A and B are shown apart, each in its own frame.
Chain A
């Protein structure tokens, strides 16, 4: 008799995704689904999708899902969770969604200590609309709307979301991982597990930023993209835990 040693997580729908070759959304989806399985929360989890490449995320999970307006997922999730605190709620947002149009919503949801989890995909570019400059685009990085490279003297520097949210006084769990190489993936999964665990125990708001690739819009092969994350993003966006609820001043 054969023993199953690797299979699709129950929380992940057995559908083919629309993501480009080499894109790491699939890895991020799988990590979240694995944690949902491991914490046995699939049947009470509701995901809130973004506007961006992962707008079809509701097709890829075996749980209830909602599609929010661009950037508004944290407000949406706040209303949902307050209306039904028994749910496990997570938002899944890209950098245009969370760090540009939705900065107000993410800061205030985190500051209120809303008991939901955010998975924040940072790939330094707008993917779905075809590679425009994001708030997280690296200095000098070429995109369709900064064809000569991001000029920090007029576009400012990339926003470090994890660091920014970690400054809030309200207890929270804020971490940054990456999903471009296996050892980072192992670490990212630990962060995601903690994020969902804190929510399950009704402790605090939690967010895990995941450095991700966009080979199509970066104009690189998947392998080159992995190297690009390592060389350009990891130094500017160091992975790690930026805040835990135990750090709180009144903990």
Chain B
């Protein structure tokens, strides 16, 4: 299939359709609005549903409703909007429903700014809303990866009956790159016998997250926890770039920031400074073990983020104090330049 040039936000919309995500609920917010604009035209062509809600709160609850109907459904937003969606996301996780949420992250806190950032890492990977739950979170670093993992997200959401998040950033959403849309590769999944489709010839299906009996609520939380443990066993994805026993330093970085780190690594290679990159593709579940191993040849580890230091806490946990872990980041919409990252590396390996 020929590649076509597409903006990240639009490619995400098209990828969702290709994966059968035909039910989309949204509210405009920069820098992800093109997802909605693209789908407003595209959904009628493919017989899907496009609905602009009155708020992110409503959009995410519409998502909850469509998920209960057993449909592949998704929403997209950006940081402040995702904060408003946390209520519904917690309910969706508690009720064990599949849904896909795209966060094209902008700088925060508060209204923040509209430029790319990675400052929603804690929110995305540590729960976000109330209660004991997790999202499976993919952090694409190219528009093509945004396509690949958006498509995969629908399958994973169905497989685990759990919300899945695409954690992009303003750069991924706004950048244009050549992409292709492969046919979805999915293993067979069991029928959605739990969906609320009308109690015809069966007992009523009840979808809820309320368990007033503490034993029942603990049981539900343990059920969720088992899914997360299974994700940790089976779904961790990462990329190693230039990792070798010669590495003086290991970079850990994801998304747009990881691309910049690759440029830095290539430049330093010319100057005979060997630096490796471990790039988490799933930020939950997090590749703790892979980072630990990749860190061992290096003297030092550097987490580079477009935030004030969030993933670095997981990197420290991964390295288990076997190597010093440092942090470098810019935020507020400022994307660190390769030179800035290279300077930071030189300071640590000098």
Chain A residues with CB under 8 Å of chain B are 42-46, 48-49, 55, 58, 61-69, 72, 75-84, 86-87, 104-105, 107-108
Contacts and interface: CB of A to CB of B under 8 A. Distances in A.
A65 B61 contact: no
Contact of B65 (A65, A77, A107): A77
Given A62-B204, A104-B58, A105-B54, A87 B197 contact: yes
Contact of A83 (B55, B69, B205, B206): B69
Contact of B208 (A43, A67, A80): A67
Contacts of A66: 65, 68, 196, 206-208
B129 to A, nearest CB: 10
Contacts of A45: 198
Given A63-B199, A66-B196, A67-B207, A79 B54 contact: no
Contacts of A75: 53-54, 57-59, 61-62, 64-65
B49 interface: yes
Interface of B: 23, 25, 49, 51, 53-55, 57-59, 61-71, 73, 87-88, 91, 95, 196-201, 204-210
Nearest to B65: A79
Contact of B62 (A44, A78, A104): A78
A78 B23 CA distance: 12
Contact of A79 (B55, B62, B91, B210): B62
B58 A108 contact: yes
B88 A84 contact: no
Contact of B61 (A44, A84, A105): A105
User: What are the 6 closest A-B residue pairs judged by CB atoms, nearest first?
Assistant: A79-B65, A79-B62, A80-B65, A75-B61, A83-B69, A83-B66
Contacts of A43: 198-201
Contacts of A42: 199
Contacts of B57: 72, 75, 104-105
A72 B61 contact: yes
A67 B65 CA distance: 10
Contact of B73 (A68, A69, A83, A104): A83
A59 to B, nearest CB: 8
The listed residue with most B CB atoms (<10 A of its CB), out of A46, A55, A79, A82, is A79
Contact of B196 (A46, A105, A107): A46
Nearest to A46: B196
A62 B199 CA distance: 8
A98 B240 CA distance: 52
Given A72-B57, A84-B69, 16 more contacts: A43-B199, A64-B199, A64-B206, A67-B95, A68-B91, A72-B61, A75-B61, A79-B64, A79-B66, A79-B68, A80-B69, A84-B70, A87-B196, A104-B57, A105-B54, A108-B54
19 contacts: A43-B201, A45-B198, A46-B68, A46-B198, A58-B206, A63-B199, A64-B206, A69-B64, A75-B57, A76-B65, A79-B25, A79-B67, A79-B73, A80-B69, A82-B51, A82-B66, A84-B70, A104-B54, A104-B58
A68 B204 CA distance: 17
Contacts of A44: 198, 200
Contacts of B55: 104
Contacts of A65: 196, 204-208
A47 B15 CA distance: 32
B208 A78 contact: no
A83 B49 contact: yes
